Structure 1
Amino acid sequence: MSQKTNYGNIDDRHRMTGREKTVRLAKMGMLVAISVVLVYFIHFPIFPAVAFLEYDPADIPILIGTFAFGPVAGVLLTIVTSVVQGVTVSAASGAYGIIMHIIATSVLVIVAGVIYKFNKTRKGAVIALICGTAAMAVVMIGANLIITPLFMGVPRSMVWDLMPFIVGFNAIKAGINSIVTFFLYKRISGFLHRTA
């Protein structure tokens, strides 16, 4: 098993044993728990004019898990975290919140995870996180125009009027979480890849 020293990554393309799979699942479960706890303690509006758009750091553990275990694991982490968060600390947002979280974060981790998978360097991580952030902001324009009127019962024109805030919110949220991920990942990647 080889190790790249430039960004603290371990090549895990070998076939995992049952023990290694169990350890990985346990660590993914830990990342989900951390994500939910972070949302419980940290959530605040970015733009006072649209206070319902709240920043939270839930995507940081998910992004870290994506870099460590790949984009498929990132999507799984996203789904589980979104559901757990949506029925506990963010229950007020209901199914709408769960769906929007799954869409937004899945786009972020798929784009960032795929790019990083093929370029596991600091530069690759930066490019991956920038592209993931941009993709999330763009996709959420369409998601909000289609899904928000259905769940909130508001006209699409009202959602469109709020679009500058929505785009800014998603770009800032994903950007903050990406920056924190970049600085944290190297410090904990060794632990995440350790199988003993």
Structure 2
Amino acid sequence: MGEHRYSVSRMIAVSSALGGLAAVFEALPFDVPFPPYPRITFDPSGIPIVLSLLMTGFIPSVYTTLIGASMIFYRGNIFGGIFKIIAELSTLVGLQALIKKKIYLSSISSLATRITIMTVANYFLLPLFYGLPLKIVVPLLPLIAIFNLIQGALNIGIAYVIYVRIPPTLKIAYLHRPQSKKLVRAKV
């Protein structure tokens, strides 16, 4: 096949479309409560965010995250939106760190980063946002860490399965793009 062109407009279009999908997933009632602590829920909105990283790179996937989280803010859940952004960005940072290596190494890095950052964030932000005393927050942290492990693994696993099944002609091919390639503006 011919050489792929990695245009900025194509990356923006893909990351915007995936951000819209993440926002739709936030708006629709797909949430499944985490049984040990039902105040937090599993949802599929992180899947298009991770898919955006795999297809377009880190910066466009941050854009995807912000679009997806905008629905949480729109519904008036400011604190939930902040937690969502922190969780998804920590997943992306960990995945990005080793993305050019094996997927299982970058997945482990991503999950470790998400669990660590979200544990610290919950330790400080649950008391600040919700007025919970630390004697209540600290026992919740292991449960929240397990939740983040499961949610992150689902997001990465499902997004990767989708990514490898995308036909090459539709891929921006971020994962397989040689480092020497530079982005080019699409000719109009």
| CA drift at 1:189 | 6.5
1:73 matched residue in structure 2:
60
Higher relative contact order (CA closer than 8 Å, sequence separation 6+): 2
Relative to 1, partners in 2 of residues 1:189 and 1:163: Cα closer, same or farther, differing over 3 Å? farther
Count of equivalent residues: 173
1:158 matched residue in structure 2:
136
Contact 1:71 1:114 in 2 (8 A): no
Q: Which residue identity lines up with residue 89 of structure 2 in the other structure?
A: S
Contact 1:74 1:113 in 2 (8 A): no
| CA drift at 1:177 | 1.3
| CA drift at 1:38 | 2.3
SS at match of 2:132: coil
1:103 matched residue in structure 2:
86
**Superposition TM-score, scaled by structure 1 size:** 0.79
Any gaps of 5 or more consecutive residues in structure 1? 4-9
Post-superposition Cα deviations, 1:48-90, rounded to whole Å, max 9, x if no partner, equal x4211100111111111101111222222212321x22134xx
Any gaps of 5 or more consecutive residues in structure 2? 174-185
In the aligned structure 2, how far is the partner of 1:30 from the partner of 1:136?
24
1:87 matched residue in structure 2:
73
1:52 matched residue in structure 2:
39
In the aligned structure 2, how far is the partner of 1:158 from the partner of 1:54?
19
CA RMSD across the alignment: 2.4
Which of 124-133 and 50-59 deviates more?
124-133
SS at match of 1:50: coil
In the aligned structure 1, how far is the partner of 2:62 from the partner of 2:19?
12
Post-superposition, which runs of at least 4 consecutive aligned residues in structure 1 deviate over 4 A? Answer: none
2:164 matched residue in structure 1:
186
